[in-house]
Amino acid sequence: MTEPLVDGEPRAPIAVLAAAFLFNLGQGVLRPALPLYLQQSLAANYRMVTAIPVVFGAGKWVASLPTGYLLDRLGRPLMIWGLLLLALVDFASIMTATYGVFLGLRGLGGVGWAMFATVATTVTVSAPTAQRRGRAVSLLLTSETSGLLLGSAGGGWLYEGLGPTSPFAFEAACMLVAATTVARWTSLPTPRAAMPRTLGVRGILGAVLRAPGVCLMGVTSATLVGIQTGVLVFLFPLYLVTRRGISPQAAGLLISLGVLGRLLALWCGGSASDRWGRMRVLVPGLLAYAVSLGSLTVLTHPVALGIWSLVIGAAAGIVTPLPPAIVGDQAPPPLRGVAVGWLRMMSDSGQIVGPLVMGALADASDLSAPFLLGAALLALTAWQCHRRAGARAASAGHGNS
């Protein structure tokens, strides 16, 4: 089968989109069930439960950049091996009765996640031309978010209806189907451009970091992920219940509105950036995200909080596709795998550091403080992006004079 064309240009590979949906469907099913399984089967306390995402993120952090380097030699099979590794981790997790072994397995699962996600992102940003790269990244993120949303909604039901181990089996099945989908799609492009051998390992990374805007996009991506995990995922539910007196059921509904807003806006960010330019969308998007996040702390009515949750999710959805698209624009094709691996490593750093910093700030100061700090970080990032865009425009104008 061949890739569908739009105006003679390839869309994001359908096999990657399908695999991303299945991958996140399995992850979503496991997300609400994992803490329950740990408490019921391994007698885990709260500290033991919260160590799982940290170890998983550490596995991702360790593997993302090496995957970018290996992509030149091994190509698309890395994505398949990552999916198969996650399936094996799920089956092994069911069989172990020791928390330490279980913890190590989840860290290994993070390695498999990085192998899949790094290659999938590289394939996505490599397939289209720059005029369609933003839309391609948006499609990938839309597939991921859709799977995560559906999986999270059904994970508790699966745990209760079919037993504590059923979410692990379901995720493993999703990974196997996704691996089969990628393996059977023979037209899937394999991003295997020849790396400059004269640079060496450090030289290649140095060349990537010297590409215009790549370092800034790494910091931007880490900031976005750190706020998402450290504020919206972990602290926003607590804020709604403890500070605004909202029931857990209503808090869940308000949080789902944020996910819905993110899902609806993902396409807009990538498509608008293809038409008007990346920075012209990224800078206002970051500022809108900062204003909506910071002003959340002054709202009290549940309806207003629901609308603001939708707005915050939409603002996050607009800016999230842009760092990978910009890295795809700026990194030369032979270095694109390493560039994406570095970008994902920075994102994983935000996933690890964000919850630790924001949680400590909430304990030391006030539960509203992480929201205000997140807004300040977004505004600072927008200013840096604006400076970068201004310097680039001035350089272009000077070159034309």
pLDDT at residue 202, as a whole number: 60
Q: What's the rounded Cα separation, in Å, for the pair 262 and 268? A: 10
Tokens of 298: 């002054």
Specify whether the CB–CB gap between 69 and 192 falls below 8 A. Answer: no
**Residue with token string 């819905």:** 260
pLDDT at residue 212, as a whole number: 78
pLDDT winner (highest mean) among 84-98, 265-279, 371-385: 371-385
pLDDT at residue 284, as a whole number: 94
The answer to whether 1-188 and 203-394 have equal CATH topology is yes
Instruction: Return the CATH architecture of domain 1-188.
Output: Up-down Bundle (1.20)
pLDDT at residue 68, as a whole number: 79
Q: Which of 27-41, 156-170, 196-210, 346-360 has the lowest mean pLDDT?
A: 196-210
Q: What's the rounded Cα separation, in Å, for the pair 150 and 34? A: 16
pTM, two decimal places: 0.79
Chain mean position to CA 291: 22
Determine the average pLDDT of the residues in 142-155.
80
Q: Which residues of 16-34 are buried (b: 16+ CB within 10 A; e: fewer)?
A: bbbbbbbbbbbbbbbbbbb
pLDDT at residue 100, as a whole number: 85
Number of other CB atoms surrounding residue 380 within 10 Å: 14
Tokens of 252: 């869940």
Give the residue from 196, 186, 210, 175 showing the smallest Cα distance to 82: 175
Q: Give residue limits of the domains in the chain.
A: 1-188, 203-394
pLDDT at residue 315, as a whole number: 94
Determine the average pLDDT of the residues in 366-381.
93
Q: What's the rounded Cα separation, in Å, for the pair 337 and 243? A: 44
Number of other CB atoms surrounding residue 96 within 10 Å: 15
pLDDT tops 90 at residue 376 = yes
Determine the average pLDDT of the residues in 271-275.
83
Determine the average pLDDT of the residues in 144-167.
79
| pLDDT, averaged across the chain | 81
pLDDT tops 80 at residue 2 = no
pLDDT at residue 10, as a whole number: 44
Distances (CA, A) of 173 to 178, 185, 206, 309: 9, 19, 40, 33
pLDDT at residue 6, as a whole number: 38
pLDDT at residue 220, as a whole number: 94
Higher pLDDT, 105 or 256: 105
Q: What's the rounded Cα separation, in Å, for the pair 189 and 19? A: 14
pLDDT tops 50 at residue 401 = no
Half-sphere exposure of 116 (CA within 13 A, CB side): 31
pLDDT tops 60 at residue 7 = no
Cβ-based neighbours of 192, under 8 Å, separated by 6 or more? 71, 72, 73, 75
pLDDT digits (tens, 9 = 90+) for 286-308: 999 999 999 998 988 889 998 99
Q: Which residues of 303-326 are buried (b: 16+ CB within 10 A; e: fewer)?
A: eebbbbbbbbbbbbbbbbbbbbbb
pLDDT band, residue 393 (cuts 50/70/90) = low
Q: What's the rounded Cα separation, in Å, for the pair 229 and 320? A: 13
pLDDT digits (tens, 9 = 90+) for 318-336: 999 889 888 888 877 777 7
Fold classified for 203-394: Growth Hormone; Chain: A; (1.20.1250)
Summary count for the chain: helices (H), strands (E) = 15, 2
In angstroms, the first-to-last Cα distance of the chain is 49
